[in-house]
């Protein structure tokens, strides 16, 4: 029996089981850190995921969605349940900002003044103030976007001067590792940056932690974790035409 299209009831049940485990893990990590689970936002990362399965997660209370790609988001947006809140977490090109400026509630990936200015202009034209997070390349990886920790204070100062964006916090994608000691080291460094810079602007979101490291991120102060494969299962990418 199918729920709709290609999504089966079995897939939905499997997602619900994974979600229950994720919530238990979040609660355990919060207990270890002396925090409350309700202070952690669980975001469902929706890249390549069928809207039927996404909506099933929304029905279970996971109503914050993270979109990576502008075109994929625009193609699926009308299919989402109305209570779903969509945030943009992927690399954002300046020429695509106008396409999403009035369709998302937060942009996680402001990684340069150039992009912040583009968001500011688009928000001005749309008559709104767009909340953003500054993306930090905490591991110094050449393959990843993000401002370096050394340049972060200057970017924060400059972005705070723009009148149609509001810097609500920081985001990072650390180097992948299953070593818990290394996870703690990187996340602890990110938390220290966040705490040091909160004096410049009233930031309240620290977006860090994904499917493989969200428990360590929570223990080190994350307020929002971005979960994709641990919730929906392994991604299935569409085959390219030959």
238 is a domain residue: no
User: What is the model's pLDDT at position 139?
Assistant: 83
In angstroms, the Cα distances linking 71 to 90, 96, 97, 140 are 12, 9, 12, 28
User: How does residue 179 score in pLDDT terms, banded at 50, 70 and 90?
Assistant: confident
Round the average pLDDT of the chain to a whole number and report it: 93
Give one word for 140, left, alpha or beta, with left for phi > 0 and alpha for psi -120 to 50.
left
- Please enumerate in sequence order all residues whose Cβ is within 8 A of that of 140, keeping only pairs 6 or more positions apart, or say none: 148
Task: Calculate the CA dihedral of residues 146, 147, 149, 153 and round it to 10 degrees.
Answer: -140
Distance CA 134, CA 120 (A): 14
242 is a domain residue: no
164 is a domain residue: yes
Does residue 241 carry a pLDDT above 70? no
| pLDDT 10s digits, 13-49 | 999 999 999 999 999 999 999 999 999 999 999 999 9
Distance CA 18, CA 196 (A): 35
- Sort 176 into a burial class: Cβ within 10 Å, 0-12 / 13-18 / 19+: exposed
191 is a domain residue: yes
Distance CA 166, CA 180 (A): 33
Distance CA 136, CA 190 (A): 8
Give me the percent of the chain exceeding a pLDDT of 70: 95
| pLDDT 10s digits, 67-102 | 999 999 999 999 999 999 999 999 999 999 999 999
- Please enumerate in sequence order all residues whose Cβ is within 8 A of that of 225, keeping only pairs 6 or more positions apart, or say none: 26, 40, 41, 42, 43, 208, 209, 210, 214, 217, 218
Distance CA 205, CA 167 (A): 9
CATH of the domain at 37: 3.20.20.10
| pLDDT 10s digits, 43-66 | 999 999 999 999 999 999 999 999
Distance CA 234, CA 126 (A): 37
Does residue 103 carry a pLDDT above 80? yes
Buried b (16+ CB within 10 A) or exposed e, 76-101: bbeebeeebebbbbbbbeeebbeebb
Average pLDDT on 171-196 reads 92
In angstroms, the Cα distances linking 218 to 26, 126, 167, 184 are 7, 35, 21, 10
Does residue 242 carry a pLDDT above 50? no
State how many domains the chain has: 1
CB contact at 8 A, 191 and 220:
yes
What letter does residue 147 receive in the DSSP assignment? B
Does residue 196 carry a pLDDT above 50? yes
184 is a domain residue: yes
Tell me how far apart the terminal alpha carbons of the chain are, to the nearest angstrom: 32
240 is a domain residue: no
Distance CA 113, CA 160 (A): 10
User: What is the model's pLDDT at position 2?
Assistant: 44
Q: pTM for the complete prediction? A: 0.93
146 is a domain residue: yes
239 is a domain residue: no
Structural domain that includes position 74: 2-232
């Amino acid at each position: 029996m199918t729920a709709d299209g290609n999504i089966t009831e079995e897939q939905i049940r499997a997602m619900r089981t994974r979600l229950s485990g994720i919530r238990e893990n979040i609660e355990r990590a919060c207990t270890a850190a002396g925090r409350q689970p309700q202070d952690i936002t669980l975001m469902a990362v929706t890249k390549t995921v069928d809207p039927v399965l996404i909506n099933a997660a929304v029905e279970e209370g996971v109503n914050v969605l993270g979109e990576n790609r502008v075109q994929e988001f625009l193609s699926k947006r009308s299919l989402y349940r109305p209570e779903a809140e969509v945030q943009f977490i992927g690399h954002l090109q300046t020429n695509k900002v106008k396409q999403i400026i009035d369709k998302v509630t937060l942009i996680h990936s402001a990684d340069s003044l150039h992009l912040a200015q583009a968001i500011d202009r688009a928000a001005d034209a749309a008559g709104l103030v767009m909340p953003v997070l500054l993306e930090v390349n905490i591991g110094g990886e050449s393959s990843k976007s993000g401002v370096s920790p050394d340049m972060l204070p200057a970017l924060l100062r400059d972005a705070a001067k723009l009148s149609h964006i509001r810097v609500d916090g920081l985001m990072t994608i650390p180097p992948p590792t299953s070593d818990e000691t290394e996870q703690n080291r990187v996340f602890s460094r990110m938390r220290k940056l966040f705490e040091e810079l909160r004096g410049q602007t009233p930031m309240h979101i620290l977006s860090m932690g994904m499917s493989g490291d969200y428990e360590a991120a929570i223990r080190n102060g994350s307020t929002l974790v971005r979960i994709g494969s641990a919730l929906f299962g392994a991604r299935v990418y569409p085959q390219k035409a030959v």
